[in-house]
Amino acid sequence: MNRWVVRGFILFSVTGLYSTMALSQEGNVDDAREALARQEGDEDSSKQLEEVFQAAETSYSLQKEGSHSLNYSFDYSYTGDQRLDAQIRDGNIRQLDIIPSATHSFTNSFSYDYGLMDNLTIGARFPLVVKYDTQDELSTQDVGDVSATARWQPFPYVPGKMSTTVFGSFTTKTGVSPYEIDINEQLSTGSGYYSVSGGLSFSKVLDPVVVFGSTSLSYNLTATDLDQVRGARRLVEVSPGFGLSGSAGFAYSLSYDLSLSISTQLSYSDETTLQFADGSEAVAQDQMTGFLNMSLGTRVSDTTIVNTSLGIGLTEDAPDFSVGVSMPIQFSGLKE
């Protein structure tokens, strides 16, 4: 993801990600189907799949009405880059410098989901972010951007048919904004603006494989009343562009205790406009990012699956790589 993902998304997190999947049917079944089928004493298969594929998608199933779930995920990502610091006025370059950067990001996230109805789940994600820039020797520890989500399954799952889930999210700007810090002395932990997104996700069971995909559109609200010094100018407003993303992948049951998922995500971000107090503007060009994510779900008990993931950036604007671990948190207060 998604960070992921994201979840991620992810991925994405998560992220996060869809419909309840009944994996056993009438008639003769092979070993792979038996590995995926619900066994006596197991938790519900929808919860198992949600945990198995959490690193690749936000959720693969919805909570039952009145039920709760709490998940913890840890993600590390590394981004190495070279920043071009230039000021252009009247066609002349007044300042030009190439600044290398190497940023390490550690994100601890807690995700809570509640089944409002059998086909409607609401949730929230609370991230804690630690960042290090080894090139400039900067560091920060703070809250990230808290988000609220809703997932709705319009039609019940039918074995052999494709399942569809509609999802939406609202992301706050609770993290440290990159537009309200001293960029030479501080690091950010958030985007700096509010964002609303929505989309569709699809999945289909082709024993012993589950194929899935999703597409989403995000709208980023303009950040105003800023007062940040950038070079010789003062930044007062940022208008981020819209975002468009899509992902696709598959999950395969290696055994009753192991499941492997592989997915690819492509994201497009429209250009961002920065407005300064002197009336001048600067435009950050649009970006296309690609990310490949591989996740391994390991059953450690009858009711617990731990996911480990590895992500590899496919484009220049994506993080170089990321690793993550996610698992459910179980205690009596959240039992059905």
> pLDDT for 71-89, tens place per residue?
999 999 998 765 555 555 5
Residue 304 contacts residue 330 (beta carbons within 8 Å): yes
pLDDT of 240 reads 93
Tell me which amino acid residue 327 is: M
Give all strands (DSSP E) within the chain, no chain letters. 68-89, 92-117, 120-133, 138-143, 147-152, 163-171, 195-206, 209-220, 228-230, 233-239, 243-253, 258-269, 272-276, 281-284, 287-301, 304-313, 321-328
Look at residue 109 in the predicted model and tell me its pLDDT.
Answer: 96
* Predicted pLDDT of residue 230: 86
Structural domains for the chain: 10-334 (2.40.160.40)
**pLDDT for residue 29:** 35
Q: How far apart are CA 56 and CA 249, in angstroms?
A: 8
**212 - beta bridge partners?**
203, 249
Whole-structure pTM value: 0.75
Residue pointed to by tokens 């070279």: 82
Mean of per-residue pLDDT scores for the chain: 79
The Cα–Cα gap between 151 and 22 comes to 19
What residue ranges of the chain have pLDDT lower than 70? 1-61, 81-101, 331-336
- The pLDDT value recorded for residue 51 is 42
